[in-house]
Structure 1
Amino acid sequence: MAFKITWKTLLPTCFQFKSLTLDSKSRVSKQNSDKRLSLSDISDSGSLLSASDLSNSLVGSNLHIFTLTELKLITNDFSSSNFLGEGGFGPVHKGFIDDKFGPGLRAQPVAVKLLDLDGTQGHREWLTEVILLGQLRHPHLVKLIGYCCEDEHRLLVYEYMARGNLENQLFRRYSTALPWLTRIKIAVGAAKGLAFLHGEDQPVIYRDFKTSNILLDSDYTAKLSDFGLAKDGPEGDDTHVSTRVMGTHGYAAPEYVMTGHLTTMNDIYGFGVVLLELLTGKRAVDKNRPSREQNLVEWARPLLKDSRNLDRIMDSRLEGQYSTEGAKKVAELAYQCLSHFPKSRPTMNNVVKILELTLQFNNIPVGSSVGVVSLEGQEKEVNLKTNEHDENEAKLNGNGNQGHQEKEEVKKKKGYRHRHRIRSRAVYSDTALYRTIKNKRESPKNKDLSLRDANYC
């Protein structure tokens, strides 16, 4: 007996597709397999899946199927006051799900991404996000809460990320610079997200790693978003996947641009570009810079060979308030990631190890503030002052019997200065940062090779 399973079964109210016939033996075999549904099953016209694929991928992931009416309600009919940004996929609006919305959904803010029917992306990219994020869960991947597929409408509903994306945080003009330790924390989180994707039984190649696709929550935890270009890595004896060249100018690995051969090493090259942006505070491509400096990698990579060139490339907005040893380690890592020889690049697991060690370098010049870095759900305060100040603060905070007058004497004697008053114009604590963020956004200057440049997701 044969079973007919269609995408109509998988995604109600979507496009009508021809049915795929699977015999019962094949169906049972798939039901006994816990292997992730392959992205290669998705064709340009839409793919057909078995019932077991449906169970293992979407139903088991607890994705919520929203109606268009519901999404209009939670976004106030996609009002301009809730607008977050727009990219190749379409506009993104903030919404809020209350506790009375429906079973299985908690009250929370969300980001709703709506496919622009006249835009540069379409059903395939939407479907890739649903299939991939419906199956994969990780602290450093943005969480997909649900989707809507109603007539021609295609929408995605994500967890809301309060700090937007790294591009806007790093390159904003009218605010103080992103602190050094916060930059490293973001790099660690993004690296863990990529390492997770590459470490799957069937590796996932992200293919579009860049600052605008790294989202940040209120604590600056980084999460990867926008998986529309993701591809499954090579299997068996294959060394690469051949694809049409897609990505973003300035981030795509040179061997991929030249040959169309896709491997996980392409993601690592893109990660090196982002590390370079974090070091320099400059965009990967900027036509407003002098001609020799317009492509960041071409200008900066030769300088990474010698640590004596560090001052020439470091973000001047940091005003020297960074760990020299830590910056050297990051510069060396970026140089390795940007190697012209893919096999010479480190794996993402090694990248994570090096960056986590870099967080331990806290020899930032005296006079800078305290950087508060949250790792794995625990806040660890990294003191950026001298040991003498540590001793003073221990005396002030540790002795409950010491009177106010004695505390003042210790302050005068030891030259005590309260940490919140020690603030460079360029470097400040994350706590202070939360209070100084303004609702200012600037349009990205770099253009995409493949038409993708989302401001939020």
Structure 2
Amino acid sequence: MGATRRRECYNKINQSQTHPEDEPLAFDIEAIRTATNNFSDENKLGQGGFGPVYKGLLPNGQLVAVKRLASCSGQGESEFTNEIALMANLQHPNLVKLLGYCLDLEGNERILVYEFVTNKSLDRFIFDPIKRAEMDWATRYKIIEGLAQGLLYLHEKSRLKVIHRDVKASNILLDKDMNPKIADFGLARLFSDDQTHVTMSKVPGTYGYMAPEYLYHRRCSVKSDIFSFGVLILEIMSGQRNTMFDGQHEVDIRSVVWRNWRDRTPLNIVDPNLMREGSSNQMMRCIHIGLLCVQKIAQQRPETGRIVKMLKSHETLQIPSQPSIFHTDNATESEIELS
């Protein structure tokens, strides 16, 4: 990447920070190298979509998570500046906090420095047979509620209207008390108050969590995030990934949940570890809300504020209709109806 292009990247970051009191710190590359022991393998926490994440220790004793992006060009550059611009203006207990960044113009390094979240990501728990057994119903319900609060802040309560576009288990971090924090805002989009949706030129995201109108028609909205949240609820309830194997066939979690809902056996999809404790009524309600969130037609999905109220109340919920189900046939994604 040339010096002019790198300088443009740097200027874009500075111009995006409109609230000086909330600006993340600009770290020197040598400070980052020292904090991570020169990006040692021993400090590596995992591998994200745009590069590895390392554990770091600042001189003041604070632990941090250091996200190192591979290069400052193309989509990666856009992700980097977008994440800083957004996170500098967002503060909520259920969002991961951006502490700073490093843009090394000479070494072509782009680095984001986040608060260190002790228990790493949700997928490491709910998809691991041993750790999943340790997640009781109270913990899972707290995670669902916290995620709903975080999305409510993004969609309605913050000074910006933000669509995350990549809500999934690996982008949810858990602190020492198992409180969820939504992370990875590289794909997020800002919306104006009067915007209901936008048509994208590309459809980045994660298959299985993507709403049908986004996947097939590139229409992105608040309801796209709500669809992803619904899939996530069903994963948390079942302890299974959104695509699973039924015998030798790959099936969508929504099809499994819908069939059991239709047959009036919804608790069959609940992780057996949860059936020894917890409220079956509360579990049923979460499955119900999850199905409402993954309705095929975006307008039929509840608003984010409505979801928060449904989780807290005992009011009668709308009856869900059959959700859209996806499958892969000869590497072609298509939409099918259940018989």
TM-score by length of 2: 0.83
Match of 2:37 in 1: 76
Amino acid at match of 1:192: Q
Distance 1:231 1:301 in 2: 31
Taking the TM superposition and a 5 Å limit, the aligned residue runs for 1:203-242 are 203-233=161-191, 235-236=193-194, 238-242=195-199
Q: SS of 1:15's equivalent?
A: helix
Amino acid at match of 2:70: D
Please list every run of 5 or more consecutive structure 2 residues that lacks an aligned counterpart in the other structure. 315-330, 332-339
Match of 1:91 in 2: 52
Q: SS of 2:166's equivalent?
A: coil
Match of 1:295 in 2: 252
Match of 1:126 in 2: 80
Match of 2:116 in 1: 160
Query: Structure 1 residue 117: deviation in Å?
Result: 3.4
Contact 1:13 1:149 in 2 (8 A): no
* Residue of structure 1 aligned with 2:70, choices 116, 127, 134: 116
Distance 2:22 2:301 in 1: 34
Distance 1:64 1:13, change over 3 A: farther
- CA deviations on 1:315-372 (whole Å, 9 max, x unpaired) are 12334323111011111111111111111111111212222348xxxxxxxxxxxxxx
Q: SS of 2:130's equivalent?
A: coil
Distance 2:268 2:231 in 1: 17
Distance 1:119 1:281, change over 3 A: farther
Amino acid at match of 2:109: H
Contact 1:89 1:121 in 2 (8 A): no
Query: Structure 1 residue 294: deviation in Å?
Result: 2.4
Query: Structure 1 residue 268: deviation in Å?
Result: 0.4
Amino acid at match of 1:69: E
- CA deviations on 1:113-152 (whole Å, 9 max, x unpaired) are 1012399951110111110001111111100000000021
Query: Structure 1 residue 191: deviation in Å?
Result: 1.0
Q: SS of 1:207's equivalent?
A: coil
- CA deviations on 1:154-189 (whole Å, 9 max, x unpaired) are 000000000001110111133434111100101111
Taking the TM superposition and a 5 Å limit, the aligned residue runs for 1:44-55 are 46=9, 53=15
Query: Structure 1 residue 50: deviation in Å?
Result: 11
Distance 1:119 1:182 in 2: 40
Distance 2:193 2:87 in 1: 21
Contact 1:146 1:158 in 2 (8 A): yes
Contact 2:226 2:293 in 1 (8 A): yes
* Residue of structure 2 aligned with 1:251, choices 209, 233, 239: 209
- CA deviations on 1:405-424 (whole Å, 9 max, x unpaired) are xxxxxxxxxxxxxxxxxxxx
Q: SS of 2:18's equivalent?
A: helix
Match of 2:146 in 1: 189
Q: SS of 1:117's equivalent?
A: coil
Distance 1:268 1:305, change over 3 A: farther
User: 1 or 2, which has the higher strand percentage?
Assistant: 2
Distance 1:78 1:357, change over 3 A: farther
* RMSD over aligned Cα atoms: 2.6
Query: Structure 1 residue 76: deviation in Å?
Result: 1.0
Identity %: 35
TM-score by length of 1: 0.63
Q: SS of 2:207's equivalent?
A: coil
* Residue of structure 1 aligned with 2:286, choices 330, 346, 361: 330
Distance 2:189 2:216 in 1: 18
Distance 1:84 1:356 in 2: 35
Amino acid at match of 2:49: G
Match of 1:56 in 2: 18
Match of 1:419 in 2: none
Higher Cα radius of gyration:
1
Contact 1:239 1:263 in 2 (8 A): yes
Query: Structure 1 residue 289: deviation in Å?
Result: 4.0
Please list every run of 5 or more consecutive structure 1 residues that lacks an aligned counterpart in the other structure. 1-11, 18-45, 100-106, 359-448, 450-457
Contact 1:284 1:295 in 2 (8 A): yes
